[in-house]
Structure 1
Amino acid sequence: MPFLRQDDYLPPLLFHNTYVNTIYPSLFRQVSDLHYQRERIDTPDGDFLDLDWATQGRDKLVMVLHGLESSAERGYIKGMIRRFGMEGWDGLGINFRGCSGEPNRLLRTYHIGETGDLDWVLRHVVAKNQYREIVLIGFSLGGNVVLKYLGEQEDRLFPQITKGIAISVPCEVMSANEEFNKWKNWIYMRRFLLSLNPKMHAKAQLFPDQYRISIPNPRSFDEFDGAFTAPVHGFDSAEDYWTRNSSLQFIPKIKIPTLLINALDDTFLSPACFPYDLAEQSPLFHLKTPRYGGHCGFYTPGKRNVFWSEEQAWRFVGSALPKI
């Protein structure tokens, strides 16, 4: 399908600024009318995952994955689940390991290409025999996980999964990392590392026989992924980790209708994260690149508290698109 480079997202003038549109919703958005029930499931390797459910006893489910150092409690996750709930869908917010408010049990945590945990959650959900339709939605890191998973599975995908949606995704991780290292993103880099570095030190103290810190205080993703993510999760280097886990290479293998929304003003993304050529060649891969939106922003005023990205996701799911 040809890419959809439509400027149908027109935020208030102040939110034309990418930093305002990224930071304001992250800090101030509240979705107070959505309430979770938490379920903890054990993983095959002896760890656990915390799942946050918002259920109405329906037979359709939207599963939403958060971004780096976030959680299912964030406004953009709850807002998406709430929007689908307005249409009578159950919702599930997946917390990655160590992101639910409690450290996970093992040395390993999560990363931008960790699809095994998503598969395990899906097996758990499918085993309930409740849902005839499941939609996967991921933001940022979680969006990369969704795209990679859909491509990895190809012909093995659970038949209940009908559509995938990914928002604000650094789908070519190597070049996106180079973009993120630029001065324009220093405030975001600082915020992430203020969370990631203490977790790394805590793991080193808990597992001294398995892991030793090589860079005490990483100041970039290059350093952090080289010192922690790569060695802990079995990659040769940060570059090996980024290359093997970029979802861009998996998109051509996806066999269900899938939507990627990446704002042109998203400072986290490189030009390679806007795969127009793939969208033009594929009948299943749909790409929207609005002029504004920031990173996981898409602020939209109004009493309904529904953001543009959430409305676009619902419209995509509600449309009659074939799968192969």
Structure 2
Amino acid sequence: MTAKIDLADCPSPVWLPGGHAQTIYSAYIARHHHITFVRQRINTPDGDFLDLDWTGPGLFADKLASGAMAPYDAQLHSTAARRWMQEDDWARLPQSPETQALVLFHGLEGSSQSHYAQSIAQYFRARGWVVVVAHFRSCSGFPNRMARTYYSGDSEEISFILGSVRERLPKASWHTVGVSLGGNALLKHIGEQAEQAHWLTAAAAISVPMDLVSCGQRLSDSFIGKRVYCPHFLKTMKNKIFEKSKRFPGMIDTLRLGQAKTLRDFDDVYTAPMHGYKNALDYWTQASSKPLLSQIAIPTLILNAKNDPFVPMESLPLPQDCSAHVLLHQPEQGGHVGFTTGAFPGTIHWLPTRLARFFETNT
């Protein structure tokens, strides 16, 4: 059996035409709700740390479990977290089998402040769900401890994070969402796990570059990719790695890093060699989730707009590339994690409602 496919449109407004406009406008201008979190820091098996931002019934960012107002924490001022998790906070979260819970993995250089993370977290929290936004290494507002950072194929990190949140709420009905880079790592994980992922109720992946070779070439070689998108991402990515080079002298080729103009250049210089790959092409090839889609064994929504400027339409999976547990939703419009709808100035509420419909009905 093959995957089901949904070609229904995202009702993109006529005043916002084209994938580039839908991508950029949604990220910076479209309206969305805002939410603050309580932050948990967990140590990884290799001696690093990850920050998880929690929200849910009984857990309040502005006050402690005792009812006292939470003091201002200057450490967190540039993040979406208001305070750090304390041990007595865990007892405040619902622990029954009826508890609905969601863990979200962000995209390249994203965080719990990202427009999509804020919109999705607020939507589900308002409906009584526990929501966790998991930060990849160096994305939570704090530099991580090691010379390595995060990358698109790190399914081991996904596994560790999912196991960590499951430990805290073992009876809950857990769902998971991955966005862009985080979606590729998530799909790779659940493809590799196959039947072992059955403890998850459902998964969803949004605007995912499942064929990293095709997507990396699009971003690195197209005019707007080289002139707009790559400089945007590389500004923060290079700054983080230059900071690492001071703590780990000799481990990073800072001369070549300074000359990097595209994601291919960056992955050639840093991501690939730091994480065990020969070069960018080897990394993109081995880290792609597309070859594993046929092994997915839990209900999974894969949502990709056909006009996504990061993901070539011809690289999108076909139903025969996926297992029968997969629903491919491929609307004509939406951009890259865009999906703005409604009258001007528009909102990005369509995305969380689409996720909710899938989690409730598998359609």
Q: Which runs of 5+ in 1 are unaligned?
A: none
Task: Indicate which of 70, 76, 85 corresponds to 2:116.
Answer: 76
Distance 1:305 1:277 in 2: 30
The residue correspondences of 1:128-139 to structure 2 (distance < 5 A) are 128-139=168-179
How far the C-alpha of 1:320 sits from its partner, in A, is 5.2
How far the C-alpha of 1:32 sits from its partner, in A, is 4.9
How far the C-alpha of 1:16 sits from its partner, in A, is 2.3
Contact 2:191 2:292 (8 Å CA) reproduced? yes
How far the C-alpha of 1:300 sits from its partner, in A, is 2.3
Contact 1:139 1:169 (8 Å CA) reproduced? yes
Partner of 1:200: 241
Q: Spell out, residue by residue over 1:99-136, the C-alpha distance to the aligned partner (whole angstroms, 9 max, x if none).
A: 01111010010000112222112221122244431111
How far the C-alpha of 1:83 sits from its partner, in A, is 1.9
Instruction: Could you list the structure 1 runs, at least 4 aligned residues long, displaced by more than 4 angstroms after superposition.
Output: 29-33, 302-306
Which amino acid counterpart does residue 167 of structure 1 have in structure 2? Answer: I
Higher deviation after alignment, 51-60 or 227-236: 51-60
Distance 2:303 2:254 in 1: 37
- Report SS of the residue matched to 1:62: strand
TM-score, structure 1 as length reference: 0.92
Contact 2:340 2:346 (8 Å CA) reproduced? no
Higher deviation after alignment, 77-86 or 35-44: 77-86
Which amino acid counterpart does residue 252 of structure 1 have in structure 2? Answer: S
Partner of 2:333: 292
Q: Spell out, residue by residue over 1:10-36, the C-alpha distance to the aligned partner (whole angstroms, 9 max, x if none).
A: 222122222221112211356554221
Partner of 1:317: 359
Q: Spell out, residue by residue over 1:122-172, the C-alpha distance to the aligned partner (whole angstroms, 9 max, x if none).
A: 221122244431111011101101111100111322x43111100111100
- Report SS of the residue matched to 2:53: strand
Q: Aligned pair 1:116/2:156, yes or no?
A: yes
Distance 1:69 1:320 in 2: 30
Q: Spell out, residue by residue over 1:219-246, the C-alpha distance to the aligned partner (whole angstroms, 9 max, x if none).
A: 1111110100011111111111101100
The residue correspondences of 1:14-93 to structure 2 (distance < 5 A) are 14-29=15-30, 31-56=32-57, 57-58=93-94, 59-93=99-133
Alignment CA distance shift 1:182-1:33 (3 Å):
closer
Higher deviation after alignment, 213-222 or 107-116: 213-222
Alignment CA distance shift 1:32-1:230 (3 Å):
same
Q: Spell out, residue by residue over 1:260-288, the C-alpha distance to the aligned partner (whole angstroms, 9 max, x if none).
A: 11101111012343112336x63211111
Q: Aligned pair 1:176/2:215, yes or no?
A: yes
Contact 2:102 2:175 (8 Å CA) reproduced? yes
Alignment CA distance shift 1:2-1:30 (3 Å):
closer
- Report SS of the residue matched to 1:112: coil
How far the C-alpha of 1:47 sits from its partner, in A, is 0.7
Q: Spell out, residue by residue over 1:35-94, the C-alpha distance to the aligned partner (whole angstroms, 9 max, x if none).
A: 211111111111110111011134221111111011111110111122222332110001
CA RMSD of aligned residues (A): 2.0
Partner of 2:64: none
Distance 2:269 2:222 in 1: 20
Task: Indicate which of 193, 205, 208 corresponds to 1:166.
Answer: 205
Q: Which runs of 5+ in 2 are unaligned?
A: 58-92
Contact 1:169 1:273 (8 Å CA) reproduced? no
Contact 1:83 1:314 (8 Å CA) reproduced? no
Total equivalences in the alignment: 318
Compare CA radii of gyration and give the structure with the larger one: 2
Give the % identical residues: 32
Distance 1:247 1:227 in 2: 23
Contact 2:295 2:323 (8 Å CA) reproduced? no
How far the C-alpha of 1:301 sits from its partner, in A, is 3.2
The residue correspondences of 1:261-300 to structure 2 (distance < 5 A) are 261-278=303-320, 282-300=323-341
Higher deviation after alignment, 75-84 or 11-20: 11-20
Distance 1:305 1:179 in 2: 28
Contact 1:51 1:94 (8 Å CA) reproduced? yes
